[in-house]
């Protein structure tokens, strides 16, 4: 893999740089410090319209007031990878700040070549805004931890997205849903054990719960290791819902194959398959068209979805009586179930790197600006009077609801992110910091009761009541809030990149050496165990084969990066 990278870098170093779009201010005053930025035309590809927008004019006014002549350059998305690789390899036509979607080896190489200015260096000149948010104990220390190299230096920024509120660091949860209307129709109790769950699914089928005369009722859960995070029932057995991930019960990186509940989970799946109420041919992902099409057949007695939005599955079934309700069971005695959740703070992929050409004092001014409420509002919502306004309680509301992207562009409206997406200037969507309701910052809640008692929570529940007189939407929202409080299970984040520091070259080499063959072997083993093609009683033998493919080495790499992220090593 290293030889391939070197060959590619050499070839690209000889290539001609491709053209870019360039936005510049008018002739700069002699007192202004020029800072150039290079990104690419991501997402909806609107960068070409940016200079004609009110958002761009606002940005230029603000940065010039700081004494900065900001110049934004961009590359078309289909040219980005080649252009960036060529420029980084040759050191030609670089900008002071660059958005880089590159691998860790390339990033480490830039650091070793002295091409970057560390964020630590820039923060020495901060007015306290960015330095406070990015301090080791700051509100967004996660950005620092994710962008810190093995040498302990904070090298690069990554984008940020937070929920408007959170409970103990979580902003969303997922649940298995079961058809309550079918339970009621057949006068069946809610299952309290996994065995009862299977028996209930069989009863749905044998008693023709959907009334179509076919006996086609079944469950819909992912059974492929690559889709484990879309299973839901895996959490009943305390599993991490990823081949390799962080076990919230132990705070250690592990593989699903090593967890105590793994055998029981496989046996549970096989029991459903053998009973004819789960098909291995169904993928059971959360959002795919295939999954939606299956639910629309009105034969799915249990499935997996976002807790607060589960009522949408009722509508999708096409049955006016459909009523999916959350169910949580404990698959292994003494083992706390895991529930998939969404971290309130999400770290985007891609790096905002400050190169060695940047003026550190100007960079500090920009970084402080990026963490202000004004920048957050401009980036996320746009400009007051154009894109949004405030009601009598001080709550922002959109003025462009129902408008198409073309309509917004034609008016020159739209916020910074509307044009830049997240591949140019840093995107810090700090909703939990700056968003308010009735003049009060929503902030961080510790309990579901705190959310429910707040003006913000009461408003959400009132909207649920207005939209649904049955009270189900309210009940689902309250259930989700209680999940986030982690009363009956521990929350689990499926995105492993959310809690890892930057890797060393050696760690990248280990992942390169093992990951492809190991991932394939783990997937094959999982499927073979589920199908019964391999004997679950011989799991230890199969694990020895995975270890020979580097399983423990790969887990070791992730553990070391997690320890550095947490500051424990």
Which tens digits make up the pLDDT trace of 200-255?
999 999 999 999 999 999 999 988 888 888 989 999 999 998 899 999 989 999 99
Terminal alpha carbon distance of the chain? 28
Interaxial angle between packed helices 373-380 and 360-370, expressed in degrees from 0 to 180 and rounded to the nearest 10: 70
pLDDT band at 279 (very low <50, low <70, confident <90, very high): very high
Q: What angle do CA 226, 228, 231 make, to 5 degrees?
A: 140
User: Which CATH fold topology does 2-158+350-426 show?
Assistant: D-Maltodextrin-Binding Protein; domain 2 (3.40.190)
Q: What is the pLDDT of residue 314?
A: 97
Q: What is the pLDDT of residue 5?
A: 39
**Contact call for residues 86 and 12 (beta carbons, < 8 A):** yes
Q: What is the pLDDT of residue 18?
A: 35
For residues 88 and 93, what is the distance between their CA atoms, to the nearest angstrom?
9
Task: Flag the least confident range among 40-54, 383-397, 486-500.
Answer: 486-500
Q: How do residues 101-123 score in pLDDT, each as one tens digit?
A: 998 889 999 999 999 999 999 99
Cα–Cα nearest to 491, from 260, 310, 238, 304 = 238
For residues 157 and 370, what is the distance between their CA atoms, to the nearest angstrom?
12
Q: How do residues 437-453 score in pLDDT, each as one tens digit?
A: 998 888 778 899 999 99
2-158+350-426 and 171-341 share one fold: yes
Q: What is the pLDDT of residue 59?
A: 98
Instruction: Say whether pLDDT at 171 is over 60.
Output: yes
Place of tokens 């980036």: 379
CA–chain centroid gap for 255, Å, is: 20
Instruction: Say whether pLDDT at 8 is over 70.
Output: no
pLDDT band at 22 (very low <50, low <70, confident <90, very high): low
Place of tokens 């891609």: 350
Q: What is the pLDDT of residue 20?
A: 43
What's the pTM value of the predicted model, to 2 decimals? 0.86
CA–chain centroid gap for 119, Å, is: 24
Q: How do residues 551-568 score in pLDDT, each as one tens digit?
A: 999 999 999 999 999 886
Q: What is the pLDDT of residue 30?
A: 64
Q: How do residues 351-389 score in pLDDT, each as one tens digit?
A: 999 999 999 999 999 999 999 999 999 999 999 999 999
Q: What is the pLDDT of residue 312?
A: 95
Q: What is the pLDDT of residue 444?
A: 77
Class assignment of domain 171-341? alpha beta
Q: What is the pLDDT of residue 271?
A: 96
Cα–Cα nearest to 425, from 31, 35, 27 = 35
Please tell me which residue, 295 or 10, carries the higher pLDDT value. 295
Backbone angles phi, psi at 237, to 5 degrees: -105, 15
pLDDT band at 258 (very low <50, low <70, confident <90, very high): very high
- Mean pLDDT confidence for 75-91: 93
Cα–Cα nearest to 194, from 311, 88, 105, 278 = 278
pLDDT band at 498 (very low <50, low <70, confident <90, very high): confident
The set of residues, in sequence order, having a beta carbon less than 8 Å from that of 338 and lying 6+ positions away, is 234, 235, 238, 239, 240, 241, 248, 249, 489, 490, 491, 492
Q: What is the pLDDT of residue 23?
A: 60
Instruction: Say whether pLDDT at 64 is over 90.
Output: yes
pLDDT band at 2 (very low <50, low <70, confident <90, very high): very low
**Contact call for residues 60 and 29 (beta carbons, < 8 A):** no
Q: What is the pLDDT of residue 379?
A: 96
Q: What is the pLDDT of residue 9?
A: 36
Please count the other Cβ atoms lying within 10 Å of the Cβ belonging to residue 359.
18
Q: C-alpha distances in angstroms, 398 versus 71, 205, 214, 274?
A: 29, 48, 49, 53
Per-domain residue ranges of the chain: 2-158+350-426, 171-341, 503-566
Classify the C-alpha dihedral 86-87-90-92 as positive or negative: positive
Q: What is the pLDDT of residue 515?
A: 84
Q: Report the run of H or E that residue 21 belongs to, with start and end.
A: strand 21-23
Instruction: Say whether pLDDT at 10 is over 80.
Output: no
């Amino acid at each position: 893999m290293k030889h391939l990278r070197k060959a590619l870098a050499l070839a690209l170093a000889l290539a001609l740089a491709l053209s870019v779009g360039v936005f510049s201010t008018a002739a700069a005053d002699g007192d202004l410090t020029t800072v150039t930025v290079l990104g690419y035309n991501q997402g909806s590809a609107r960068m070409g319209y940016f200079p004609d927008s009110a958002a761009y004019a606002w940005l230029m006014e603000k940065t010039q007031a700081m004494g900065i002549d900001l110049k934004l350059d961009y590359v078309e998305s289909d040219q980005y990878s080649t252009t960036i690789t060529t420029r980084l390899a040759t050191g030609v036509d670089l900008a002071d700040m660059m958005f880089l979607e590159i691998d860790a080896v390339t990033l480490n190489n830039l650091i070793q070549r002295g091409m970057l200015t560390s964020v630590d260096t820039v923060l020495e000149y901060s007015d306290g805004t960015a330095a406070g948010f990015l301090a080791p104990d700051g509100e967004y220390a996660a950005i620092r931890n994710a962008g810190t190299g093995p040498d302990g230096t904070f090298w690069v920024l990554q984008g940020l997205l937070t929920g408007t509120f959170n409970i103990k660091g979580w902003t969303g949860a997922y649940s298995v849903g079961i058809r309550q209307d079918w339970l009621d129709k057949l006068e069946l109790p809610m299952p309290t054990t996994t065995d009862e769950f299977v028996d209930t699914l069989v009863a749905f089928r044998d008693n023709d719960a959907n009334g179509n005369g076919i006996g086609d009722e079944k469950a819909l859960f992912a059974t492929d290791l690559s889709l484990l995070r879309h299973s839901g029932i895996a959490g009943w057995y305390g599993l991490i819902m990823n081949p390799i991930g962080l076990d919230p019960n132990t705070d250690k990186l592990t593989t699903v194959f090593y967890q105590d509940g793994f055998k029981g989970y496989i046996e549970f799946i096989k029991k459903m398959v053998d009973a004819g109420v789960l098909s291995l041919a169904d993928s059971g992902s959360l959002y795919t068209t295939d999954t939606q099409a299956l639910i629309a057949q009105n034969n799915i007695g249990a499935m997996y979805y976002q807790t607060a939005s589960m009522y949408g599955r009722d509508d999708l079934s096409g049955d006016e009586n459909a009523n999916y309700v959350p169910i949580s069971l404990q698959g292994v005695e003494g083992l706390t179930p895991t529930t998939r959740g969404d971290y309130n703070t999400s770290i985007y992929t891609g790096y905002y790197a400050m190169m060695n050409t940047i003026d550190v004092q100007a960079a500090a001014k920009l970084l402080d600006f990026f963490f202000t409420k004004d920048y957050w509002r401009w980036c996320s919502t746009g400009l007051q009077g154009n894109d949004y306004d405030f009601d009598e309680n001080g709550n922002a509301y959109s003025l462009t609801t129902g408008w198409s992207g073309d309509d917004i562009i034609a008016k020159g409206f739209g916020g910074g992110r509307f044009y830049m997406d997240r591949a140019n200037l840093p995107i810090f969507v700090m909703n939990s910091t700056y968003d308010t309701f009735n003049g009060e910052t929503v902030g961080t809640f510790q309990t579901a009761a705190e959310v429910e008692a707040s003006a913000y929570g009461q408003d959400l529940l009132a909207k649920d009541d207005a939209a649904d007189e049955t009270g189900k939407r309210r009940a689902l929202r309250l259930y989700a809030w209680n999940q986030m409080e982690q009363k009956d299970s521990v929350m689990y984040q499926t995105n492993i990149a959310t809690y890892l520091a930057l890797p060393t070259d050696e760690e990248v080499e280990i992942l390169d050496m093992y990951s492809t063959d190991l991932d394939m072997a783990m997937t094959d083993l999982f499927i073979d165990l589920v199908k019964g093609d391999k004997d679950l009683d011989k799991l230890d033998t199969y694990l020895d084969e995975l270890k020979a493919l580097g399983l423990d080495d790969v887990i070791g790499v992730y553990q070391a990066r997690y320890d550095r992220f947490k500051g424990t090593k």
